[in-house]
Amino acid sequence: MNVINEAGILAISTRLHRLSEQLRKDGAMIYKAFGIDFELKWFPVIFTIYKKETASVVEIANEIGYTHPSTITLLKELEKLKLLAWKKDKNDERKRLFLLTPKGIELVEKMKPVWELVTIVLSEIADNENNLLKAINEAEEKIANQSFYQRAMQLKNSR
């Protein structure tokens, strides 16, 4: 066991980052093995629009948990690649609704078998999606109610 693993909960951020980086690296290799030119940073946007069919910048940012500027950067990149397009919202002319282009739909269709494979493999790694995802969901819910920083300051002030 290395020092970071021995640090236990103190190093949770480092360990989650390490796990995330390994999953990203392997995920990129999996897409490449299927002959799909795809960057993992695009996944949350592509998947959200695939599921919702159309979505505004604000809706996408809220769904994926990214800032508005980060979301716009990804949307512009995907537009430039002609994977996404937008149309004006009929109810609010100022709002743009993003949707997959035919090229984007074709990409999603190529990725579906990869998603099925990845779901099976990650379910095995994450113990059938029970333990790891349950723990992540619980942690995210607690942090949404009161941030890590807020909890630390509350404890500091109560001592």
> C-alpha distances in angstroms, 4 versus 34, 50, 133?
34, 38, 22
- Residues 11-26 have a mean pLDDT of 92
Which region, left, alpha or beta, applies to residue 53 given φ > 0 means left and ψ of -120 to 50 means alpha? left
CA distance linking residue 102 with residue 104, whole number of Å: 5
CA distance linking residue 46 with residue 52, whole number of Å: 10
Is the confidence at residue 52, as pLDDT, over 60? yes
DSSP letters along 118-145, please?
Answer: HHHHHHHHTTTTTHHHHHHHHHHHHHHH
Which region, left, alpha or beta, applies to residue 129 given φ > 0 means left and ψ of -120 to 50 means alpha? left
List 86's β-bridge partners, or say none: 98
Do you know the residue count of the chain? 159
Task: Give per-residue pLDDT as tens, 61-110.
Answer: 999 999 999 999 999 999 999 999 999 988 887 889 999 999 999 999 99
CA distance linking residue 101 with residue 84, whole number of Å: 5
Q: Which one, of 1, 3, 23, lies nearest residue 126 by Cα?
A: 23
Is the confidence at residue 20, as pLDDT, over 90? yes
Strand 84-88 to 96-100 pairing:
antiparallel
